[in-house]
């Protein structure tokens, strides 16, 4: 494995400043899980002016809905889900102090801009490697919305959880840069990742 | 008339659900391994290594390859000389899904009411179940735990009848380009050309059951598959869309005669965790 930058949570501004696209990083410390349903509820709480179940300042959210653990296990398979589905919810989360996001796939232009503006970072873990990523999760505890099952908010303690920086606080976008670098096709590049889901 | 108990269908589906979600098919793993040798991006090679290591960990520790253990797509090819006894075949399949997803500690990902109360059904049923009547006295059970990330990138369009092959190539390339990292490349791409809208998409899904490298028996279609694979891999999307020369492992095309006014094209994408498993009863 190439050299990677070891990050510990919560993330600080100066650490984020040093991260650039394509950098392999590892996360150690506490991160929180949240997907579509949990985000929807958090946004509703914000709209009503009610407190969130977690303090997002400096925190990292991992977009994941794990498989159930086998008896005695901490968690099941736990790889990232498509980040773009969370785009409609992401700006208020950044406004509430969220600093890091782990998902898969790209983000829309508005989110890329918001990540820059809020001095945050978006990383991908390798989609479809939930068994491998399981080994980096040392504990898991549901902290909110238990009724959502796999979509509940979980507090995870992770160790050397691997990820790659896709959108940095300088406005860089790895997926766009990567496609340009390795494209041998003469086809014009369409609006990046304009298919939803 | 050969009799097959419904319970046997249930047991088979339950077993296939667990096997498909834990063991990456050999042909898929082999294709990923081969791609590692040709991939030009060092970052993409690192991703490929993680994918290969994941397959090993999943196998050895009995952890699902991916947390998205999918919609249970089941295709039954039922011989016309088979008589299923002791229950309704669709109930038997759903019971198999229920059992497999519970006993295998798989994720239950089905929301009951799609546009309103998206309450989880709790057991991953109902599956999406297709039945086909075929000659013979056997039942072929084809199981695919289909992940949301790739399924959501499916696309259908009808083209003008005279637009021909180029329309197919352009549409497939555009779909892959626009999907980016969402469907988890490197991909396996199913394409249905002809028939009607639903026929085209069903063919695209069906094509995903082929083994990597298995070309269409029709030389013209086989040639299109090779052209598509090359065109897609020139896009530079790469593994997880970080950029690279490995965007797809293979492209499978199925065709069917179509109306004189139509050129239906459907694309159904499969992620690198191209999980399928089949059994014959």
pLDDT at residue B250 tops 50: yes
Q: Could you say which of B43, B62, B234 has the minimum Cβ distance to residue A185? A: B234
Any domain includes B42 = no
- Of the candidates A2, A128, A178, which has its C-beta nearest B244's C-beta? A178
Each residue's pLDDT tens digit, B41-63: 999 999 999 999 999 999 999 99
Q: Does residue A103 register a pLDDT over 90? A: yes
The pLDDT of residue A1 is 47
In a shared domain, residues B159 and B250 = yes
Closest CA–CA distance from residue A49 to any residue of chain B (Å)? 24
Q: Is residue B228 part of a domain?
A: yes
pLDDT tens digit string along B102-137?
999 999 999 999 999 889 999 999 999 999 999 999
Query: Is A136 in CB contact (< 8 Å) with chain B?
Result: no
pLDDT tens digits for B20-45? 999 999 999 999 999 999 999 999 99
Of B40, B120, B180, the CB nearest to A105: B180
Give yes or no for residue A188 having a pLDDT over 80.
yes
Whether residue A3 has pLDDT greater than 80: no
The Cα–Cα gap between B147 and B110 comes to 11
Task: Reduce the DSSP state of residue A152 to 3 states and report it.
Answer: coil
Average pLDDT over residues A163-188: 96
Q: Is residue B139 part of a domain?
A: yes
Rounded Cα distance between B162 and B82, Å, is 43
Q: Are residues B101 and B177 in the same domain?
A: no
- B57 to A196: CB separation less than 8 angstroms, yes or no: no
> Chain B partners of A197 at a C-beta cutoff of 8 Å?
148-149, 152-153, 182
**Does one domain contain both B155 and B131?**
no
- Domain boundary (B124, B146, B168) is at B146
pLDDT at A12 over 90: yes
Peptide bond preceding B126 in cis form (omega within 30 of 0): yes
In this structure, the answer to whether residues B125 and B197 fall within a common structural domain is no
- The Cα–Cα gap between B57 and A129 comes to 9
pLDDT of residue A197: 46
- What is the complex's ipTM, to 2 decimals? 0.94
Supply the pLDDT for residue B132.
Answer: 97
Last residue of a domain, one of B116, B146, B176: B146
For the cut 60, the answer to whether the pLDDT of residue A194 exceeds it is: no
- Do both B120 and B8 map to the same domain? yes
Measured between CB atoms, which of B49, B53, B178 is closest to A190? Answer: B178
β-pairing verdict for A153-167 and A121-124 = antiparallel
Residue A192 pLDDT: 55
Q: What is the pTM of this model?
A: 0.95
Task: Kindly state whether residues B112 and B229 are assigned to the same domain.
Answer: no
Q: Is the pLDDT of residue A2 over 60?
A: no
Check residue A193 and give its pLDDT: 57
Residue-wise pLDDT for B185-197, tens only, equals 999 999 999 999 9
C-alpha distances in angstroms, A148 versus A37, A38, A41, A145, B122?
7, 8, 10, 6, 11
Question: How far is B138 from B79, CA to CA, in rounded Å?
Answer: 5
A69 and B CB contact within 8 Å: yes
Q: Rounded mean pLDDT of chain B?
A: 97
Task: Judge whether B198 lies within some domain.
Answer: yes
% of chain B beyond a pLDDT of 90? 99
Tokens 């040639």 belong to B223
Residue B47 lies in a domain: no
A175 touches chain B (CB under 8 A): yes
Domain shared by B201 and B84, yes or no:
no
Rounded to a whole number of angstroms, the distance from the CA of A126 to the nearest CA of chain B is 7
Residue A22 has pLDDT above 70, yes or no: yes
Chain B within 8 Å of A149 (Cβ-Cβ)? Answer: yes
B43, part of any domain: no
Q: B165 and B250, same structural domain?
A: yes
- Contact at CB, A149 and B120, closer than 8 angstroms: yes
Cβ–Cβ below 8 Å for B149 and A81: yes
Q: Which residue has the higher pLDDT, B1 or B184?
A: B184
Residues of the domain holding B105: 2-20+65-146
Chain A residue numbers touching B244 (CB-CB < 8 A): 178, 182
- Clarify whether residues B266 and B153 are in a common domain: yes
Q: What's the structural domain count of chain B?
A: 2
Where a domain ends, among B93, B115, B146?
B146
Q: Which chain A residues are closer than 8 Å to B155 by Cβ? A: 195
Is B34 inside any structural domain? no
| B118 lies in the same domain as B171 | no
For residue B159, the cross-strand partners are: B263
- Residue B75 domain flag: yes
Task: Determine whether the interchain pair A179/B237 forms a contact, defined as Cβ–Cβ distance below 8 Å.
Answer: yes
DSSP states of B57-91: HHHHHT--SSS---EEEEEEEEETTEEEESS-HHH
Is there a contact between B222 and A122 (Cβ–Cβ < 8 Å)? no
Q: Is residue A79 within 8 Å of A128, Cβ to Cβ?
A: yes
Chain A contact for B51, CB < 8 A?
yes
State how far residue B243 is from chain A, nearest Cα, in angstroms.
Answer: 4
Same domain, B71 and B139: yes
DSSP reduced 3-state for A188: coil
Same domain, residue pair B179 and B153: yes
Q: Are B107 and A76 in contact (CB under 8 A)?
A: yes
- Which residues are paired to B253 by β-bridges? B191
């Amino acid at each position: 494995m190439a050299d990677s930058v070891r990050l510990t949570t919560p993330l600080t501004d100066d650490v984020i400043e040093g991260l650039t696209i394509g950098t392999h990083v590892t996360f150690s410390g506490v991160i929180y899980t949240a997907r579509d349903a949990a985000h929807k509820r958090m946004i509703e709480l914000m709209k009503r002016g009610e407190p969130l179940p977690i303090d997002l300042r400096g925190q990292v959210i991992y977009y994941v809905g794990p498989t159930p653990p086998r008896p005695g296990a901490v968690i099941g398979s736990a790889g990232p889900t498509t980040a773009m589905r969370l785009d409609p919810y992401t700006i208020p989360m950044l406004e509430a102090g969220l600093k890091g996001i782990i998902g898969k796939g790209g983000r829309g232009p508005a989110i890329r801009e918001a990540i820059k503006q809020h001095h945050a970072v978006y990383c991908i873990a390798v989609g479809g490697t939930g068994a491998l990523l399981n080994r980096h999760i040392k504990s898991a505890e549901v902290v909110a919305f238990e009724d959502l099952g796999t979509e509940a908010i979980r507090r995870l303690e992770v160790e050397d959880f691997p990820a790659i920086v896709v959108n940095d606080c300088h406005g860089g976008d790895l997926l766009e840069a990567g496609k340009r670098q390795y494209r041998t096709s003469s086809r014009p590049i369409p609006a990046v990742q304009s298919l939803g889901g | 008339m050969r009799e097959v108990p419904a319970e046997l269908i249930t047991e088979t589906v339950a077993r296939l659900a667990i096997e498909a979600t834990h063991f990456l098919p050999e042909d898929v793993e082999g294709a990923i391994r081969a791609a590692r040798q040709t991939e030009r991006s060092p970052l993409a090679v690192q991703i490929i290594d993680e994918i290969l290591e994941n397959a090993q960990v999943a196998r050895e520790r009995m952890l699902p390859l991916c947390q998205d253990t999918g919609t249970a797509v089941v295709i039954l090819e039922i011989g016309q000389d088979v008589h299923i006894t002791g229950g309704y075949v669709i109930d038997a399949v759903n019971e198999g899904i229920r059992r497999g997803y519970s006993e295998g500690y798989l994720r239950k990902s089905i929301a009951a009411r799609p546009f309103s109360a998206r309450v989880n059904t709790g057991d991953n049923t109902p599956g999406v179940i297709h039945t086909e009547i075929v000659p013979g006295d056997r039942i072929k059970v084809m199981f695919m735990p289909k992940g949301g990330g790739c399924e959501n990138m499916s696309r259908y369009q009808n083209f003008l009848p005279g637009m021909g092959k180029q329309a197919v190539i352009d549409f497939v390339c555009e779909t892959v380009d626009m999907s980016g990292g969402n469907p988890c490349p490197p991909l396996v791409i199913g394409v249905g050309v002809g028939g009607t809208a639903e026929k085209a998409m069903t063919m695209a899904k069906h094509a995903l059951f082929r083994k990597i490298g298995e070309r269409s028996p029709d030389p013209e279609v086989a040639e299109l598959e090779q052209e598509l694979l090359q065109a897609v891999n020139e896009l530079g999307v790469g593994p997880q869309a970080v950029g690279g020369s490995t965007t797809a492992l293979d492209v499978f095309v199925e065709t069917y005669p179509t109306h004189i006014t139509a050129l239906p094209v459907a694309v159904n994408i499969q992620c690198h965790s191209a999980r399928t498993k089949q059994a014959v009863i």
